[in-house]
Amino acid sequence: MNRKIIYVSVWIVFTIAMAGWWMAFSINLLERIKNVPWEGQADVLRHKNMLMWEGATWILLLLAGGIALIYFVLQEERYTQQIKEFVAAFSHDMKTSLASLRLQAESLREDMKDPELSPLVDRLEGDIVRLGLQLENSLYLGRHEAQKIFIENISVNDMIHSLEHFWPQLKIKVLNPVTVRGDRRALESIFTNLIQNSVVHGSASEVVIKGGPLSQESVEVEISDNGEGFPGDYEQLGEIFYRHNPSSGSGLGLYIVRQLLNEIDGDIKFIRRSPGHGFAIRLQLRGSVQA
């Protein structure tokens, strides 16, 4: 049963029970007063009848309000379920279309004979990756329920190798490979957002991922690039919808990186560098250095 329905039902039972107890206690008290001879017995009888009618009306109103509340909760759940089904169908169609576009772009690159068209294909592939990442980020931001986390041992080297085809013109180096413990989808989203950030906002041509021990049960993964760096306020990095300059993004990618790291007991630190000297961050994750 839905938790909201349970909470509403408990509230209805509790409030009606309290109202019933109050009415019964008051009537019993008036009965005891009525049996004592005094001049105001007529007023006591009148107040008793008034109390019974008012108490019954109060209980009926509470019951009607509770039923109405349950009805609106059920309506909200039905609308929410419809939205979830729509988003699931929409995201499936979008992902299928983007995958088809990517395959066509790769086929176009293989069949292309004019080298002057290569930058156009590069831009097409980059836009497809960007759209896919924006779709994933938007779906994460708009979800209402916490995502289920499946913790497993994941090789950063193998994971990066499975992702590097998204950026065919980018050189990615993995030094000192490490194995981290976390959710695969969360980690893939974290690294994809960070690498995409280097490509889009830093115009980087090379990204270096270097692992190292932090403690017996945790590792540190440094991700650095040779891009333009970051000229803004480092304290505001990761703040959603905060724009550091007219050409910067919405900050959604780094915000989601922070949220996903929190879900897998990780952390992120930004390394301050002068503009023009690249951008670098350090991730703290559970894991170990590969032998």
**Residue 291: predicted pLDDT:** 62
- Topology of the domain comprising 152-289: Heat Shock Protein 90 (3.30.565)
Higher-scoring residue by pLDDT: 262, 80: 262
**Residue 33: predicted pLDDT:** 63
- pLDDT category at 39 given cuts 50, 70, 90 is low
User: For residue 136, which of 179, 176, 99 has the smallest C-alpha distance?
Assistant: 99
**Residue 220: predicted pLDDT:** 94
- pLDDT of 108 over the 90 cut: no
User: For residue 54, which of 23, 87, 31, 10 has the smallest C-alpha distance?
Assistant: 23
Structure tokens at 242: 């905060």
Centre a 10 Å sphere on the Cβ of residue 233 and count the other Cβ atoms it contains.
10
- pLDDT of 127 over the 60 cut: yes
- pLDDT of 257 over the 80 cut: yes
For the chain, give every domain's residue range: 1-111, 152-289
How, if at all, do strands 218-225 and 280-289 pair?
Answer: antiparallel
- pLDDT of 143 over the 90 cut: no
**Residue 195: predicted pLDDT:** 92
Task: Kindly report the pTM of this predicted structure.
Answer: 0.64
Higher-scoring residue by pLDDT: 211, 275: 211
- pLDDT of 65 over the 90 cut: no
Tens digits of residue pLDDT in 148-194: 788 899 999 999 998 888 888 889 999 988 999 999 988 998 999 99
- pLDDT of 133 over the 70 cut: yes
- pLDDT of 51 over the 90 cut: no
Higher-scoring residue by pLDDT: 127, 265: 265
Q: Which amino acid is at 221?
A: V
CA dist list (Å): 205 to 105, 128, 199, 238, 276: 21, 18, 7, 23, 13
Centre a 10 Å sphere on the Cβ of residue 59 and count the other Cβ atoms it contains.
17
Tens digits of residue pLDDT in 210-243: 999 888 889 999 999 998 888 777 777 777 766 6
User: How high is the mean pLDDT of the chain?
Assistant: 79
**Residue 191: predicted pLDDT:** 94
- Residues of the chain with pLDDT > 90: what percent? 19
- pLDDT category at 78 given cuts 50, 70, 90 is confident
What number of residues does the chain have?
291
Centre a 10 Å sphere on the Cβ of residue 148 and count the other Cβ atoms it contains.
7
**Residue 232: predicted pLDDT:** 74
Range list of H helices, the chain:
3-34, 41-111, 118-142, 156-163, 184-202, 252-263
**Residue 286: predicted pLDDT:** 92
